[in-house]
Structure 1
Amino acid sequence: MDYITLGKNVRKYRLIFGFSQEELAGKCDCSNSHIGQIENARGIPSLDMVVRIANSLSVTVDQLLKESYSNPEVVYLRELAERIEKYPVARRIQACEALMAYLDSLEKFSQ
Structure 2
Amino acid sequence: MDYVILGKNIRKYRQMRGMRQEDLAELCDCGNSHIGQIENARGIPSLDMIVRIANALSVTVDQLLREYYTEPEKVYLREIAERIEKYPVKQRVYACEGLAEFLNTIEKFSHTDE
Aligned residues: 111
Q: Which residue of 2 aligns with 1:47?
A: 47
Distance 2:17 2:90 in 1: 29
Structure 2 residue 103 is the aligned partner of structure 1 residue 103: yes
Name the % identity: 71
TM-score normalised according to structure 1 size = 0.94
Quick check: 4-13 or 83-92, which moved more?
83-92
TM-score (normalizing by structure 2): 0.92
Aligned partner of 2:78: which letter? R
User: Runs of 4+ in structure 1 displaced over 3 angstroms?
Assistant: none
Greater RCO structure (CA 8 Å; 6+ sep): 1
* 2:87 alignment counterpart: 87
SS in 1 for 2:90: helix
Matches within 5 A, 1:1-111: 1-111=1-111
| 2:30 alignment partner, SS class | coil
Q: What is the CA distance between 1:110 and its match in structure 2?
A: 2.1
What amino acid does structure 2 have at the position aligned with 1:101? E
RMSD over equivalenced CA pairs, Å: 1.0
Instruction: Measure, in 2, the Cα distance between the counterparts of 1:90 and 1:56.
Output: 31
Q: Secondary structure of the equivalent of 1:71?
A: coil
Please tell me the residue identity of whatever aligns with 1:74: K
**1:29 Cα deviation from its structure 2 partner:** 1.2
1:9-60 alpha-carbon deviations (Å, 9 max, x no partner): 1000111111111111111111111111111111110000001101111111
How much does 1:79 deviate? Answer: 0.6
Q: Where in structure 1 are there 5+ consecutive unaligned residues?
A: none
